[in-house]
Structures are given as structure tokens and as C-alpha cells.
Structure 1
Amino acid sequence: MRNILKQYFGFDNFRPKQEAIINSVISGKNTLGILPTGSGKSVCFQVPGIKFSGTTLVISPLISLMRDQVEALNRQGIPAAYLNSTLKKKEIDMLMKHLEAGEYDFLYVAPERFNSEEFTELIKRLDVPMVAFDEAHCISKWGHDFRPSYQSIIPELRALLPNAITVGLTATATLEVQENIQELLNIENEDVHKTSVARDNLHLHVNGTYQREQYILSHIQDNPDSSGIVYAATRAEVEKISLYLENNDIENVIYHGGLGKEERNRNQRKFVSDDVNIVVATNAFGMGIDKPDIRFIIHHNMPGDIESYYQEIGRAGRDGQISECILLSSPRDVNLHQFFIDRSNSTDQYKDHMRVKLDRMIQYNRTSKCLRSFITKYFDPDEYVEACGSCSNCLNPGRTYDMTEEAETVAALIRTCEIPLTREQSIQILRGEMSEDVTNHSLEEMDTFGRMDNYLTGEISHVLEELILRGYIHQYEDLLYTVDKSEQLLDSETPVMTVPFRKYFNEKVNISTASSPNEVLFRKLVETRAELADKFNIEEGGIFTDMTLREFARKVPASKQEMVQIQGVGSYKLKHYCPKFLETIRAHKESVAVAK
């Protein structure tokens, strides 16, 4: 494999996880690779595709992406072609003849191509050892860029090519999306290979300025030789920002779906070839743009989900150099996304899902915690993270509150407890609450029980979140653990500063922690969700996320009217799923009453 890598791609060594993915494919296993943008995903199917005899079929979402990859392969002496709507009938006929003659190692097609009977008949006659799904998140209905055509061709591919190996590559897959892709492509857990989404060279910033256009202008003026993308939510805003920059002597090009194809291509070429440094665009611009030296990406508007934001900022700094990723926003952005969700033709279930994603994007925009850690935990809640030290929150001069004493108390609790604790149990112990989750394990006997009884639930939650996102505590499968870095807290070696968050200080806070879920009830709700998933033959996450179930356990709703007030509950779920959850909650409350 290394010989192929060197001969055709000019690299001496594989990047992280590339070799593991390639070896998995070579051994005949369906495989999923989740690697950050710019980390060489294409190599993961191109290297085995060169080794295999026959023609590897690559399912690709964009014509421009196909063209760029095919041209790159041809320049490296690798015979490749694409088949899409830009080709004329004569060109398609000639291409098919060459394919039947076995002259191509790779054929790139859009999923819509399978609507052609002529094409499917051709596929039957070809030797196809492997099918590669580029941008595999498009397969999952829970992905941020779901394309039904991507998913619908999977049964047809299995029928046409029953012996072909399948490999999927993507940069943006939450655990929910990952599991959905695995199910659809028949990929085992051990054949999933991924690296952290964290990229050290991307410095993340959130800026709440109301003078967004002026901020963009100033940033460009302060970095006159830097290449950058300014993203805006609508075509009108793209043109407005572009005109503002032009009026201030900043040369730029625009890119959005309202432009003619020729103008879009021309503007893209100008940017990629460094004829112009700045492009102002909607999210239509970017996928497949292989420009390594983009030094900054500014979002004039907040995207609707973290996956979209991560994919867009991932186009910066592919050369490994420091690049700035700046998020600007206004309250209107939230209203706009809510409007788009409400007016979409999607099912109520999918709309609920998008509202949850929007909530997480809003949290990113408002959090005072490390931004890189926030994004990393979003994609993999079980990954160990440490504060980046370079984002706008880590560098915030407003971190004036010394929480060293609170941090040491939390670390001592987690270190000395004989069982792993959830975040909610930890809060209940520290606040001195005699809840089921505490008394069932005799946790009220711990020395740290009630040590922070003058803190609100949200205040202790703030401390815990800070410690997790800064690497002092590790959260894995909802349980908390101390790590080597925890010793710094226990030995009082390092002061831990945060933004001011206390509301109550000396007096004891007797407010019951309404935001701390009952773990016993939560587990029952999880079981109910599994039963419903089996009944309706859908993924558990498509019913309710763990976050929503924890809200049920916190608030213990007794009616549909109370349940619909909880984030993540829409009209579809209220009708089809909530009655069963209400039964579980009622049964739990009755069992608790009997026990008392």
C-alpha cells in the first residue's frame, strides 16, 4: 500500500487512520471512515481502488467534486472518469464503451444516475470490486445534508453488486449518524475508524458584535494578503456584503445558487487560483474546494446546526497553518432557522430533530466554555478533551472567578466514590439531596455529601462542564472519571478560573434540583424507547434523544400538555410516542409512592 501511496500520491506515510481504513477494505470488510475535512479521505478508497482489478464505483454528491477528483486522478496517471448530466449523448456512449473494455479504475457518478436503466444494465456487465460513498453523511436521514437518493440506491446496489465491498467516508458524523450509516451499509463496529474532529490549527471565535459588516471589513483590512471566505445565510445578504466590501475597496467575488453556472465557475476559479482573495457566499460554496491556504472563514450568520458549521470551517487551514474561524450572529438568525424548519415539507419527526440540532448550535454560540472542546464533544460525547487555549472563550479576559476550591471538591468526590457517578448523581451528592439515585447506593455517607449545599444545580453543572471541557474530568458513557490531569486539582497546583457564575453564596439553597434527573426513571424511559424502536422499526434516536429523556426524568410530566413544553417533543411524537412514556412515568411514580 505504501508503494501505491508514494508512486501515485507522492506521500511517504499515511495520515492517521488512513492505513487502518485501507487495510480493512483490502481484507474485504465493509468499512466506515470518519476523518476531519482535509485529512485525506479520498486516499482511503483510491489506494485500494488502484490495487483492485476492475472499476471502483464512487458515489459523489456534486458534479464539481466529481470533476475535480477525476482530473486529479488523471494527472497522477490513474484512469478515471465521471458520468453525469454535463456529458453529451455521444460522450456517454463513448465512455460506456471504454468502461466495458475495462479501461477505467474509477467511475464517479451521482446517485440519480441509477434512475437510468441503461446505466444499471452496464453496471451488471462491469467488474466492480468496491463501491465508495463519498460524503457518506448524505446517506443518513439524521445527517445535516441528507439526500434521499443516496439512501434509496443502497438496496439496488446490493442487488446489482452483491459481492462488492462498501466503504463510506465523511468528516461530519455524530454518533447517531454513524450508527445509521453502519446499519444502512452493513458495517460492524470494529470496522469503523475515526479520528478526533479537533484541529489544532483552527482557532475558533464567537463575536456578538452588532456591527457585523464593519467587523468583516476590519478583519480583511487587518489581513490584506490573506485568503478567506465570508458566509452569509441568503443570496441578498451575500450581495449586500459584497457591495459593502467593494465600496471600501475590497475586491471580492460572490457565489450563490442564483448565479449562472458559468459565473459561479468563473468566480470559483478566481478564488482558487488566487486572482482574488475574498469570496462572499452562501453555503452552496465550498464542498470539494481544495484550496489549502484559506486563512480565515467568517460566518455573517449562524448556521442551523453544528455539522454544517464544522464542515464549512473545515475548508480553512488545510495546509496545517493557523487559520481563524469566526462566528458572527444576530437573534434574527435563530428566527430565520426556526422559520425554515416550520415551513419545510419534512415530517414532524424530522422537524423535531432539526430543532434539537438548532438548540445545540445556539448553545455553541452562547457558551462560555472552550469552543473546540464543545464541538469535539458534540460529535463524540465519549472523547477525552482538553481546553484549546486559543479560542475566544479560553482567551476571555472575563474569566475572573477563581473556582479552584469547587474544582477540588468535585475531583475529590469523583476520585473517592466507589462507583462511577453520573453528572446528575454528582450534583445531588454535592448539594446534599436524598434522592433515589443517592440513597440506593448509600452515597449520602460520603464526606463530600452536602459540601456544596449553598450552590444551585446550574452552578455546580457549570463547574462540572468546565472541568470536563478543560480535561480535568473525563465523561465517558455518561459517567465521570478522574484522569492524570485531575491531580493538579487535588494537589491545588493550578488555579482554575472561569466566568462569574454564582448567584447564592453563604446561605443554604433549599431549592430542589429540578434539573437533576432521576436515574432510575431515566433508565426506565430508555427501556421504553427501545420497545418503541422495535415496534416502529426505527432507530432509538429517532424517537427521543437521551437529552430529551433526561428532561422527562427531570420534570416528570404528567400529561401531554406538560410533555409538549419539553424541547424535542413535536406534534408527531406527542401523538405516536408520548402516551407510552407517560405510562412509564405514571408507573414509576406509583412504585415510588408504594415504597414510601
Structure 2
Amino acid sequence: MNDPLSNARALLHSVFGFGAFRPGQEEIVRAVLAGEDVLAVMPTGSGKSLCYQLPAIVRPGLTLVVSPLIALMRDQVRALTAAGVAAGSLNSSNDPAENSRVLGLLRRDELRLLYVAPERLARRDTVEMLAEAHVTMMAIDEAHCVSQWGHDFRPEYLTLGNLARQIGGRLQTLAFTATADAPTRGDIVEKLFAAEPRVFVRSFDRPNLRLAFKPKERSTRQVLSFVQAHRGESGIVYCSSRRKVEEMAEALMAAGIKARPYHAGLDKAVRDANQDAFQQEDGLVMTATVAFGMGIDKPDVRFVCHADLPSNVEAYYQEIGRAGRDGLPADTLTLYGLGDMQLRRLQIEQSDSSDERKRIERQRLGALLALAEAPRCRRQTLLAYFGEASEPCGNCDLCVEGVELFDATVDAQKAMSAIVRTGERFGMEHLVAILTGELTDNVVKFKHDGLPTFGVGKNRKAADWRSIFRQLSAVGLIAQDLMEHGRWWVTEEGWAVLKGRQTVELRKIAASAPSKGERRGRAVAPAIVSDADTELLDSLRTLRTRLARAQNVPAYVVFSDRTLAELATHRPSSLAAMREIHGVGDAKLERYGADFLAVIEPRAS
């Protein structure tokens, strides 16, 4: 009897061109092939889609893929079709010929993966059609959308848990998302699964991403400097408003950089044309609101820049995760200022959310500000938010450039004393009021104006104390329970400082001067090949662009940046040697191999 996992490994190479699984993939594929229901939380770029695409072609039957955006479906179907897999989607953007192709494959029981949006699954005709098809598995992408606690809640996802009953028989269910904290995971399990699934929560570490935050000074100039260091590379610049998106695109184009805007206020035809250009062309920069994101399945985005502060850590992580999905080095920069903080707080308070939802969003914003103001390695702070420990990465701005610190032991003791003397039951604003001696209603109500710590922090502004609380959280001396009214408590490490056994240094609280990196001059983008191979890489990209335009597909559907980088570095001299390159499967080797060898061979040593 054939071993399904052995078959999967063989198809991994022959279809997708991958020599091995990425970390965390094989265990999930094994569980899926064994027929288990699965919830997998995997960071963007770790290869979630392969965990359902590979089993779908190993086993008989049809896999239904629920995906939230048409662009995402379209790009994944293009990539699968280019690899020789019978895949299709049913959506409103299909032309009659595409619908005919997909329905024909479906009727003949030849289709392996069918992509649909959750809204289409609410239609009776779709359910009736699927009841006649041999559907054995449902893979739900962006599964956090089912949860009220997720950051992209979509009520249409709530119907998916009943789909198996509607189409008859047992339907193996797989759910995938890049970010889901404990409350969100609980919601996903409750609403999508009839029984407890196998849950996989993979490391959130993306070591190929360089993390950096900078206080805003002249934000447009800062963005221009960052993007110019990546001239010729694809990237995204996120802005908080439609007006700023268009202004930033104009500023980049005035500087000679290929750029296009994307936001919900643009005409749909313009949005679609700009998104297609971003997918098909090398070196194009998209300036966008967060409306541009979930539908992007482009592995070779080399940088993501936030011209304005994101809404929370989960959103930040999702958005920077769109860079470097091919595993090659990628750069990120996030700018933040007082105006950003005020805007995000205003958006929370003016939303229609429940009081409980608003409270949690305030705490999530506080966690993002703690990351922005962190006095230690960014990666350590980010991973700690997701419950992981790590060593300093040596690759973020704080590790590389350092930061000006001050002895904050006394300030830390004051803050932690306020926490302890109030029974570790209160949130930041109440504690700040105590430290600054502000007689708020709650301070008076709980008689906290009689505490020894009342007013001991009058020497600092309330904003300074908020920064201190966030930094103490970032270094692990205090912790906060998001689900219990945002109360703070002192950790074991914090008690050592509170009792005078240890000291602590925090980031200096002051208007920031230019960082060491900026004083040295323009930042240098991380390279994906050596200087000696840059010319060949450019030639391979030119060929890729020509082939992609001729077929009207995204450039990465031909080959990813990682594949081009390996071709430029290893310079294979035959089709057999080229087959050993990452991302070169049998179908692509037959279709593109000779063209790329013709570019490589004159330069081969």
C-alpha cells in the first residue's frame, strides 16, 4: 500500500519544486492525510496554503477552499494551474469561459481544488451544486474572520460550520490563520468544528524580516529615504487615510519611483489595474490603506513601510508579514507619532463596538506602543506578545543601532508600587492618575488618594508614565490581563526590581534625535544575492516580466524571487540541474526551463 506521506513528499518536489517541507508543514500535512480536523495558526510566509493544497492532490476527492477575497483566489488558482494542478474558482469576476472550464472539470470529477468566497456558500444553488460533487475536505483560509475577537471579523464565516450538514456526509475541516490569540482560537473551534480539532500553533518568528520603528519627524521624507534604498524592488507603503495614500504615491513618483495608489475610494477598474500591475511588474511600490492586504499572494515583496501607526500588534504582524514570504531577506519600517496614538484612540472610542471590545482594543493598542517604545530587541518584544521567548535577534534597529537608555529603577519601583498597593486589580489610566496625583472619580471612590504612592510621580507627565508602563511590560517586569479589565500585575522579575535586588534601564523619554543609522546616511537594503550575481538576477527578472505579461499572470507565477536568486547564484547548465532549484517543478521546467537556461548559459563560468 502506498504511504500517503511518501506520495506527498514526491509531489512536493515534482509539482511545487520544493526539496523539503518548511518547518511545521510536515506535521500538519501528516494530520490532514490521516483524516483529522485541523486548526493551524502559522505566520504569514510559513506556507499555510501548501498544508491543504498538497493533501488535496495526494488524496481523491474535491477540496473546497474558502477564501475571503477574489484576488487571493485568482492568484492561487493561477499558481496551481501553472504547476499542473486542476484548480478553479467560482466568483463574480470570472468570464464565461473560465466558469465553463471550472464547471466542466467539476462535472467530470476532475477538479482537485475549488475556491469560493463564504458569501457564495450562503447561496442555495452553490450548496446544491456541492451536494452533487465529491467534496471530501474544506479548507478555511483567514479563519480568524469567524471570530468577534479577530481583527477582520466577517459574519459570512459563521455559516461555514453548518456546511457539512447541508451538503451531506462528513466533511473534513481545516482552518488556517496567521494570527489568533487564545480567545480567537476558542471562537474558531466553537464556530467551525463539530468536535475538537488538532491545534497547531507555530512559532511567530520571521527571522528574515528586519524590524524597525522610528518616531515621525518628516514622514514623507523618511518614507522616501527608506523606499529609495529599495529602488527596483517591490514593496508596500501603508497609510492611514485615502488622501495620504494618493499624496505618498505622487511623492514617490516625483522621486522617480514606480508607484501606484490603492484604497477603497478609487474606481474599481483603477484598483484592479493597480493591483494587477503590482502583481505582474517588478519594482513597483503600492501605497495603500489596509484595504490592500489580505488578497495579496505575492511572495517577493521586499519591504513593507507603515507611514502611520497600525491599529494593533495583530494588524502590524499581518501587514509586515506580506514582505519576504519567499524566505529571503525583507525590510520593514514603522513610523509613529503622538498624532497616530490620538487617532487610534479616537477610532476606538468612536466605534460602534461594545464596551468590552473597546477595552480590549485599548489594551492591544497599548501593546503596539510598547513595541514601538521597546528598550530591547524588537523581535524579543514582539514574540513575547505572542507568548514566545527568544534571544536578541541582532537584526532589528535596536540590536543594530542601539538606543539611549537611562536608569529607570526608581521610576519602575514607583509604578510597580502603585500596582501592588492597589491589589493588582487596575488598568494603566487609574495607576497613572495615582502616580501623578490626579483626583479622578475612581481614585476618590477607592480612596487611593490616601496611598503612599499617590502623587509620587508628579515630576513626570502622564504620557511619560504611560511610556514607562509600556516599556516595563516590554521587558517583562509587569504583565497585563487583556481579558480581565486590563489589570496589571508584577512578575517575578519585577519583584526583584521592586525589592531592590536588581536595577532596570529603560529607553530615554524625550523627543527623538535622528537614529545612528540615519546619521550614517541612507539605509542599505538587505541583499538577496551577492554583488557578482546582481546583473544576472536583473536579466532573469526581465525575462520573468516578459513571460508573465505574455501570459497575463503575476510574475511570481512564473518563478519567485527565491527561485531567481538560486538560479543567479548556482547558474545551472542543464534542465536536470535546473530541476534541483527551489520552486522548479516538472510543469514549470518544461514550460520555462529552456528560456531561463538561455539567459544563464552565456554567463555561466
TM-score normalized by structure 1?
A: 0.66
- Within 5 A, what are the aligned runs for 1:109-128? 109-128=116-135
1:108 aligns with 2:115: yes
Q: CA deviation at 1:140?
A: 1.3
Q: CA deviation at 1:465?
A: 5.1
- Could you tell me which residue of structure 1 aligns to residue 167 of structure 2? 160
Match of 2:475 among 443, 446, 466: 466
Q: Deviations over 1:116-159 (max 9, x none)?
A: 21111111112111000011111211111111101233224444
Q: CA deviation at 1:400?
A: 4.6
AA at the equivalent of 1:25: V
- Could you tell me which residue of structure 2 aligns to residue 274 of structure 1? 281
Q: CA deviation at 1:432?
A: 11
- Could you tell me which residue of structure 1 aligns to residue 213 of structure 2? 206
Once residues 199 and 218 of structure 1 are traced to their aligned partners in structure 2, the CA distance between those partners, rounded to angstroms, is 24
Match of 1:387 among 368, 389, 392: 392
- SS at the partner of 2:303? strand
- Could you tell me which residue of structure 2 aligns to residue 49 of structure 1? 56
CA contact (8 A) 2:144 2:153 kept: yes
AA at the equivalent of 2:41: I
Q: CA deviation at 1:215?
A: 0.7
CA contact (8 A) 2:309 2:335 kept: yes
CA contact (8 A) 1:174 1:378 kept: no
Relative contact order, higher structure (CA 8 A, sep 6+) = 2
1:312 aligns with 2:319: yes
Q: CA deviation at 1:250?
A: 3.0
Once residues 83 and 281 of structure 1 are traced to their aligned partners in structure 2, the CA distance between those partners, rounded to angstroms, is 27
- Could you tell me which residue of structure 1 aligns to residue 228 of structure 2? 221
- Within 5 A, what are the aligned runs for 1:557-576? none
- Within 5 A, what are the aligned runs for 1:311-460? 311-379=318-386, 381=387, 383-395=388-400, 397-401=402-406
Match of 1:240 among 225, 243, 247: 247
Once residues 176 and 343 of structure 2 are traced to their aligned partners in structure 1, the CA distance between those partners, rounded to angstroms, is 31
Once residues 177 and 296 of structure 2 are traced to their aligned partners in structure 1, the CA distance between those partners, rounded to angstroms, is 15
- SS at the partner of 1:33? strand
- Could you tell me which residue of structure 1 aligns to residue 14 of structure 2? 7
Q: CA deviation at 1:433?
A: 9.0
| Alignment size in residue pairs | 445
Q: CA deviation at 1:42?
A: 0.6
CA contact (8 A) 1:100 1:125 kept: no
Once residues 196 and 304 of structure 1 are traced to their aligned partners in structure 2, the CA distance between those partners, rounded to angstroms, is 22
**How many percent identity over aligned positions?**
37
- SS at the partner of 2:357? helix
Q: Deviations over 1:33-57 (max 9, x none)?
A: 1111111111100111112222111
Once residues 257 and 424 of structure 2 are traced to their aligned partners in structure 1, the CA distance between those partners, rounded to angstroms, is 63
Match of 2:182 among 165, 175, 191: 175
CA contact (8 A) 1:65 1:287 kept: yes
- Could you tell me which residue of structure 1 aligns to residue 583 of structure 2? none
CA contact (8 A) 2:76 2:297 kept: no
Q: Deviations over 1:12-33 (max 9, x none)?
A: 2111111111111122211011
Q: Deviations over 1:329-356 (max 9, x none)?
A: 2323233333433443444443333333
- Relative distance call for 1:462 and 1:220 in structure 2 (3 A) is closer
- Within 5 A, what are the aligned runs for 1:13-24? 13-24=20-31
CA contact (8 A) 1:207 1:327 kept: yes
Q: Deviations over 1:428-476 (max 9, x none)?
A: 8xx9999999xxxxxxxxxxxxxxxxx999989967853689xxxxxxx
- Relative distance call for 1:161 and 1:302 in structure 2 (3 A) is farther
- Please identify, of 43-52 and 347-356, the stretch whose mean Cα deviation from structure 2 is larger: 347-356
- SS at the partner of 2:248? helix
CA contact (8 A) 2:140 2:174 kept: yes
- Could you tell me which residue of structure 1 aligns to residue 268 of structure 2? 261
1:184 aligns with 2:188: no
- Relative distance call for 1:250 and 1:77 in structure 2 (3 A) is closer
- SS at the partner of 1:131? strand
- Could you tell me which residue of structure 1 aligns to residue 550 of structure 2? none
Q: Deviations over 1:215-256 (max 9, x none)?
A: 111222344333321110111110111222233333311112
Q: Which runs of 5 or more structure 2 residues have no equivalent in the other structure?
A: 1-7, 426-455, 458-464, 479-488, 494-501, 510-605
- Relative distance call for 1:28 and 1:337 in structure 2 (3 A) is same
- Relative distance call for 1:89 and 1:75 in structure 2 (3 A) is closer
Once residues 374 and 127 of structure 1 are traced to their aligned partners in structure 2, the CA distance between those partners, rounded to angstroms, is 47
- Relative distance call for 1:167 and 1:5 in structure 2 (3 A) is same
- Relative distance call for 1:60 and 1:40 in structure 2 (3 A) is same
Once residues 180 and 36 of structure 1 are traced to their aligned partners in structure 2, the CA distance between those partners, rounded to angstroms, is 19
Q: Deviations over 1:318-376 (max 9, x none)?
A: 23333221111232323333343344344444333333322322332333333222222
TM-score normalized by structure 2?
A: 0.65
- Relative distance call for 1:353 and 1:306 in structure 2 (3 A) is same
RMSD: 3.7
- Could you tell me which residue of structure 1 aligns to residue 532 of structure 2? none
CA contact (8 A) 2:366 2:470 kept: no
Q: Which runs of 5 or more structure 1 residues have no equivalent in the other structure?
A: 407-422, 438-454, 470-477, 483-491, 502-596
AA at the equivalent of 1:466: V
- SS at the partner of 2:232? coil
Match of 1:82 among 89, 92, 103: 89
Once residues 389 and 34 of structure 1 are traced to their aligned partners in structure 2, the CA distance between those partners, rounded to angstroms, is 26
- Relative distance call for 1:299 and 1:308 in structure 2 (3 A) is same
AA at the equivalent of 1:175: A
- SS at the partner of 2:398? coil
Q: CA deviation at 1:113?
A: 0.7
Q: CA deviation at 1:70?
A: 1.0
Once residues 3 and 269 of structure 1 are traced to their aligned partners in structure 2, the CA distance between those partners, rounded to angstroms, is 33
Q: Deviations over 1:505-529 (max 9, x none)?
A: xxxxxxxxxxxxxxxxxxxxxxxxx
Match of 2:151 among 117, 130, 144: 144
AA at the equivalent of 2:302: R
- Relative distance call for 1:219 and 1:90 in structure 2 (3 A) is closer
